[in-house]
């Protein structure tokens, strides 16, 4: 009995000493200890090129960006493009609608002639996982300008189970390579940042799509396979339309090849691939060929930097087939939490990324969407992460430097402390990880982004009235790209 009492007393004494030690040390600890992780964190991953870019910059911890003060003092004066010149802007409120003129003109041609087509490539991270944000962004455009179909869909996807705009299933024997973690793939990545191989010779690899339920996605319009070149000429695919079994042979002769499977819309489609090993497969496109179409190229953990590894010849081949008018870059979630407020390293990396996109897609307008608000726990209270604002400034800098348009999503969703409100107030618009939006919040974010684009488009039409504007030429070059060495004073 005495032994038990002695053990109890020793344990109590140790606990008391530990508590006193912690309380004495607490005042020396940093305010920010851990991020809030009440919800699932499996969607927050890191790509290898982001780590390389960050590690290449020495002694970043604790630094603060210093370039923005000088940039902010300079008015941003635009050069006339296609007969139109938007009013000058300040860095603080920069939107850069001037650089969307080729896109606006194509929208105008579509709206007035009903014959033009518009296509948007929307690149993002886990924020757009499962077609979140993008599906509503797509709907807003199709409501106004027409168009049906979900656009380009990969062969496999980690978010297929959560996507409602199209039902997507696939066999487990596909070999997948992603630009997120492989710098040198067996064959060039597709526009979706992936390449797939049906290398299982014992079992057929298959993929199945079923149309969604939303108003503009109730059918699979003009299903078309995209695949690359290979020496293998024996690859076949088999699928059924009604009671008819159809077999087609793949002809992988060019850098990029397409194969139309049906001229009539389908409700669902299952395709089996046989003897197709070594042939790079990219995905299927579904659209009705009119109006606006938006492709969602989301990838969990992506910083945007891996896009700089796109093969120019392959992307130009995709552009010949898909003819994009606008590229949206929506990143930031995976760039926070590096113990630094200096994002010059990210600025430089994304400048190279956008310059590569200019090579791959000549004449295509580019829109940079900033990181949204993200909350972190400071002294037991959820607040805007201290890295959010510095990151948005970095994103604005490389948008301006590369003559890209810019949406400050952090400001438009409410600014400082907004993620706490979106997460805790009714109606709930974000998840308990204080990072990702729920379906209701994603729809609101899509509207925010769409509204800024539409406001710019309406202003463009007013400016256009008094100008003689020629229809945009296919693949016409956009304004000369800013080099990284330009000073803020040369921004005109």
Round to whole Å and give the CA distance between 323 and 344.
32
The CATH 2.60.120.260 portion of the chain extends over: 150-288
Look at residue 52 and tell me whether its pLDDT is greater than 70.
no
Round to whole Å and give the CA distance between 451 and 459.
12
Q: Would you give the DSSP letter of residue 310?
A: -
Can you give the pLDDT at residue 74? 85
Look at residue 161 and tell me whether its pLDDT is greater than 50.
yes
For the ranges 59-63, 95-99, 179-183, 474-478, the maximum mean pLDDT occurs at 95-99
Look at residue 202 and tell me whether its pLDDT is greater than 50.
yes
Q: Which of 43-47, 108-112, 334-338 has the lowest mean pLDDT?
A: 43-47
Vertex 88 angle, CA 85 and 93, to 5°: 125
Can you give the pLDDT at residue 483? 40
25 with 279: CB under 8 angstroms?
no
Can you give the pLDDT at residue 26? 45
Q: Would you give the DSSP letter of residue 132?
A: T
Can you give the pLDDT at residue 206? 98
Q: What is the mean pLDDT of residues 1-28?
A: 52
Smallest CA-to-CA distance from 36 within 389, 434, 421, 438 is with: 434
Look at residue 208 and tell me whether its pLDDT is greater than 60.
yes
* pLDDT band at residue 25 under the 50/70/90 scheme: very low
Smallest CA-to-CA distance from 43 within 141, 116, 114, 126 is with: 126
* pLDDT band at residue 488 under the 50/70/90 scheme: very low
Provide CATH code, domain 150-288: 2.60.120.260
Round to whole Å and give the CA distance between 46 and 331.
12
The CATH 3.40.50.1110 portion of the chain extends over: 30-147+291-492
| Domain at 30-147+291-492, CATH class | alpha beta
The CA-atom distances, in angstroms, between 167 and each of 71, 174, 258, 278, 453 are 47, 18, 22, 27, 29
User: How is residue 375 written in tokens?
Assistant: 């909350």
Round to whole Å and give the CA distance between 225 and 484.
39
* pLDDT band at residue 340 under the 50/70/90 scheme: confident
Q: Which of 70-84, 94-108, 355-369 has the lowest mean pLDDT?
A: 70-84
Q: Would you give the DSSP letter of residue 470?
A: P
User: How is residue 164 written in tokens?
Assistant: 């409602």
């Amino acid at each position: 009995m005495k032994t038990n009492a002695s053990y109890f007393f020793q344990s109590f004494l140790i606990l008391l000493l530990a508590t006193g030690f912690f309380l004495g040390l607490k005042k020396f600890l940093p305010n920010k200890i851990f991020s809030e992780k009440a919800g699932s964190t499996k969607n927050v991953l890191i790509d290898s090129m982001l780590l390389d870019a960050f590690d290449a910059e020495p002694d970043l911890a604790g630094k603060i960006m210093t370039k923005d003060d000088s940039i902010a003092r300079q008015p941003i004066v635009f050069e006339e493009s296609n007969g139109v010149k938007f009013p000058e802007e300040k860095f603080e409120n920069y939107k850069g609608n001037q650089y969307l003129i080729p896109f606006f003109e194509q929208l105008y041609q579509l709206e007035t002639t009903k014959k033009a087509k518009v296509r948007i490539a929307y690149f993002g991270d886990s924020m757009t996982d499962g077609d979140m944000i993008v599906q509503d962004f797509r709907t807003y455009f199709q409501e106004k300008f027409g168009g049906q179909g979900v656009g380009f869909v990969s062969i496999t996807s980690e978010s297929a189970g959560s996507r409602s705009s199209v039902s997507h299933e696939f066999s487990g024997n596909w070999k997948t390579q992603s630009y997120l973690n492989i710098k040198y793939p067996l064959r060039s990545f597709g526009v979706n940042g992936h390449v797939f191989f049906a290398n299982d010779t014992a079992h057929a690899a298959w993929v199945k799509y079923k149309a969604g339920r939303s108003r503009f996605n109730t059918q699979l319009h003009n299903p078309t396979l995209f695949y690359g070149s290979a020496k293998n000429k024996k690859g076949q695919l088999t699928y059924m339309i009604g009671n008819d079994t159809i077999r087609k042979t793949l002809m992988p002769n060019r850098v990029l090849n397409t194969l139309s499977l049906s001229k009539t819309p389908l409700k669902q489609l299952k395709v089996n691939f046989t003897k197709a090993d070594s042939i790079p497969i990219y995905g299927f496109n579904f659209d009705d060929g009119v109006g606006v179409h938006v492709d969602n190229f989301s990838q969990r953990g992506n910083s945007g930097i891996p896009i700089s590894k796109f093969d120019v010849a392959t992307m130009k081949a995709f552009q010949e087939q898909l003819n994009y008018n606008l590229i949206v870059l929506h990143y930031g979630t995976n760039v926070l939490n590096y113990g630094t407020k200096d994002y010059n390293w990210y600025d430089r990396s994304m400048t190279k990324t956008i310059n590569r996109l200019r090579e791959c897609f000549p004449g295509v307008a580019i829109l940079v969407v900033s990181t949204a608000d993200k909350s972190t726990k400071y002294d037991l209270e959820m607040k805007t992460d201290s890295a959010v604002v510095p990151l948005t400034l970095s994103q604005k800098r490389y948008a301006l430097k590369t003559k890209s348009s810019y949406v400050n999503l952090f400001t438009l969703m409410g600014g400082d402390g907004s993620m706490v409100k979106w997460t805790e107030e009714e109606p709930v618009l974000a998840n308990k990880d204080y990072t990702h939006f729920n379906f209701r919040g994603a729809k609101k974010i899509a509207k925010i982004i769409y509204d800024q684009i539409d406001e710019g488009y309406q202003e463009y039409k007013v400016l256009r009235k008094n100008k003689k504007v020629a229809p945009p030429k296919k693949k016409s070059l956009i304004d000369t790209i800013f080099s990284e060495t330009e000073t803020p004073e040369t921004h005109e």
